[in-house]
């Protein structure tokens, strides 16, 4: 009887470990996601651009690598430059902290390794995305980056 009880307990514990392991997110809490909606009204000062856009990103907190996707439509012309700016609260301006490189036609993706200070500013909601065009060299559409989770 004791052998059977031991075997049953062992099988029960093994099942718990297996179920717990299967239900865990492999990225765990080390990959928060971020998003932003980009509009001309969010620019400082605001403009009447018909353009809109979105920013989606994931931060690997183990490596500090931020990966993003930017999509947009309806701008007055081609994007001439695009960046993450900060640190800045909504309604404030700041300089670029991460430039978006490569082709900037929608949608585009990229990644960058952030410093500890940059991660802290990003997590605190102090960054914004800005897409620039010839008609709006200071920025045509913008959106404050916020954590999704």
In this predicted model, what pLDDT tens digit does every residue of 22-35 receive, in sequence order?
A: 433 444 457 999 99
- Computed over every residue of the chain, the mean pLDDT equals 87
Residue 149 pLDDT grade (very low, low, confident, very high; cuts 50, 70, 90): confident
Quick: pLDDT tens for 60-82: 999 999 999 999 999 999 999 99
Quick: pLDDT tens for 47-62: 999 999 999 999 999 9
Exposed/middle/buried for 24, CB within 10 Å: 0-12, 13-18, 19+? exposed
As its CATH architecture, domain 29-147 has Sandwich (2.60)
Q: Is the pLDDT of residue 110 over 60?
A: yes
pLDDT higher at 64 or 5: 64
Q: Is the pLDDT of residue 91 over 80?
A: yes
| Phi, then psi, of 76 in degrees rounded to 5 | -75, -10
Q: What are the boundaries of each domain within the chain?
A: 29-147
39/98 Cα distance (integer angstroms): 20
> To the nearest whole percent, how much of the chain has pLDDT over 90?
79
Mean of pLDDT values over 112-135: 98
Which pLDDT does position 22 carry in this prediction?
Answer: 40
Strand boundaries in 9-149, DSSP class E: 33-39, 52-60, 65-73, 79-85, 96-99, 108-113, 128-133, 141-144, 146-147
Would you state the structure tokens that stand for residue 82, as one six-digit string? 């695009």
Closest CA to 125 of 31, 36, 53, 29: 36
**SS3 label, residue 86:** coil
Please name the residue that has the structure tokens 């093994």: 14
């Amino acid at each position: 009887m004791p052998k059977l009880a031991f075997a049953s307990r062992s099988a029960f514990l093994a099942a718990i470990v297996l179920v717990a392991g299967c239900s865990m997110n492999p990225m765990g809490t080390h990959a928060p996601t971020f998003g932003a909606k980009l509009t001309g009204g969010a620019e400082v000062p605001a403009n009447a651009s018909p353009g809109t856009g979105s920013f989606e990103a994931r931060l690997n907190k183990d490596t500090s690598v931020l990966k993003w996707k930017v999509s947009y439509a309806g701008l007055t012309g081609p994007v001439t430059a695009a960046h993450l700016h900060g640190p800045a609260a909504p309604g404030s301006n700041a300089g670029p902290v991460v430039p978006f490189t490569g082709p900037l036609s929608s949608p585009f993706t990229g990644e960058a390794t952030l410093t500890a200070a940059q991660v802290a500013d990003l997590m605190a909601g102090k960054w914004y995305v800005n897409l620039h065009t010839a008609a709006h060299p200071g920025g045509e559409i913008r959106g404050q980056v916020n954590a999704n989770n």
